[in-house]
Chain A
């Protein structure tokens, strides 16, 4: 069985390395020309998206922003059905974004215990990015090279 967007077996690798400031992760942004123009079968063709780190992505860990959870589980063997559907529709996943631990109502910044929250692109950067989909909101608001960011609304969190 050949792997294709339709078969949902696309895998991912974590991109290593940081910028010269020693902190900022590198993000690999592919040319938009590698995808066909959006059409009925692939309306998201070439769209660059980020997904929240509570979605499984084949080949990458899901941390739920918990160090304990991350240590307990290996990288995911397959992507979540929702992610598979996004890939099938032509989306290009650039990364997994930060969130409050287990999508809880923890308020940035003091209640984010295991990881620091993202910086709010508005103002001086130190206003709360809120949550739980803080990284999703920050990435799509702050980066013009990103088209779509997927967050979640966990009703019972």
Chain B
């Protein structure tokens, strides 16, 4: 299943780790975006790592085209990341935005990341993944070792 949103830049043949951050109220606020990245870096999340911070993807609630060059330079200077990879336009209102966090970009689409752990204590009968309940809103998943 594919999500509705697409990156505005060309597709990638290999999954690339990115941090997805959301625009504020449909507009791009550079200060808020940088702050969002910093908060993500400090969050208690064992799936997130600094590898994701190399590239930023800005999510917009509509087909807004911000000034990518300025945004790119500001975030790169503030965070030491390499660049803004692109703009991810998906939904028409703030409620349908994909949650900010670590993702993979693959073939112009955003994919959730699940870290693979191992049941070395043999505690589980089955391990499961949640199926995509709503293809219109769901985000595909990539498993990461």
Contacts and interface: CB of A to CB of B under 8 A. Distances in A.
Q: Do A and B come from one complex?
A: yes
Interface residues of B, number: 35
Given A28-B114, A32-B45, A96 B124 contact: yes
A96 to B, nearest CB: 5
A121 B121 contact: yes
Interface string B108-145: 00001111111111111111111101100000010100
A14 interface: yes
Contacts of A31: 45, 47-48, 101-102, 112-115
A129 B56 CA distance: 45
B75 to A, nearest CB: 18
Interface in A32-60: 32-36, 50, 53, 57, 59-60
Contact of B124 (A19, A21, A95, A117): A95
B125 A33 contact: no
B119 A33 contact: no
Contact-residue size bin, chain A (C-beta under 8 Å from the other chain): 35 or more
A12 B124 contact: no
A9 B131 CA distance: 10
A135 B129 contact: no
Contact of B114 (A30, A116, A142): A30
B134 A3 contact: yes
A139 B121 contact: yes
B121 A33 contact: no
A34 B117 contact: no
A102 interface: no
A95 B117 contact: no
Nearest to A5: B133
Nearest to B135: A3
A45 to B, nearest CB: 11
B67 to A, nearest CB: 26
Interface of A: 2-4, 9-15, 19, 21, 23-36, 50, 53, 57, 59-61, 63, 65, 92-98, 115-121, 125, 134-136, 138-139, 142-143, 145
